[in-house]
Amino acid sequence: MGRSLSQQEDTNRRMLRARDEMDRRYAEPLDVPTLAAIAHLSASQFGRVFKDVYGETPHRYLQRRRVERAMTLLRQTDRPVTEVAWDVGFASLGTFSRTFSNIVGCSPTEFRAQHAPVAVPSCFIAAWTRPREHPAPTAPPRTAVSEKREEVDAG
């Protein structure tokens, strides 16, 4: 190959291969040793480097990928929610519902009721309906009153 990649570009390219593998095998359990091998990293390095490149852990990425697929199935089909949960890789309906609600902000049933099927290529649906993380709750601004309360609470 004629090109010379910087170390970071080479890392990005290897992590992209691993992420593509996660996208393909989203319904299977997270297989860190295999993904790490694809990225030419040790299993212990993989999670940290993935987060450095893509800003989230492999586990969280896989959860969002699965939820995105579930959103598509809920929107495009009339399959029961339990089957959708299994199809996208969740072992229990409870975990699926919790994870879905945590990421999307409503239950799978509520989501289905609010969203109609859409006719655009599947890769765009996957890319554009991948749920974002909710922003972390921010602490209220500190005031003289709140600081006094904290002092009292702390004894």
**Site of interaction with other proteins (CB under 8 A):** 1-3, 5-6, 8-10, 12-13, 15-17, 19-20, 23-24, 53-54, 75-78, 112, 116-119, 121-123
Token couple for 45: 């390095």
C-beta of 91 vs 106, nearer to other proteins:
106
C-beta of 6 vs 143, nearer to other proteins:
6
Residue 62, φ and ψ in degrees, nearest 5: -65, -40
Token couple for 34: 């295999």
User: What 3-state class would DSSP assign to 71?
Assistant: helix
* Number of C-beta neighbours around residue 24 at 10 A: 9
Q: Minimum Å distance from CB 150 to other proteins?
A: 42
C-beta of 15 vs 85, nearer to other proteins:
15
Question: What length does the chain have?
Answer: 155
C-beta of 12 vs 57, nearer to other proteins:
12
Q: Minimum Å distance from CB 81 to other proteins?
A: 12
Q: Minimum Å distance from CB 50 to other proteins?
A: 11
d(CA 94, CA 99): 8
Longest distance between any two alpha carbons in the chain, whole Å: 68
d(CA 3, CA 112): 47
Q: Minimum Å distance from CB 151 to other proteins?
A: 47
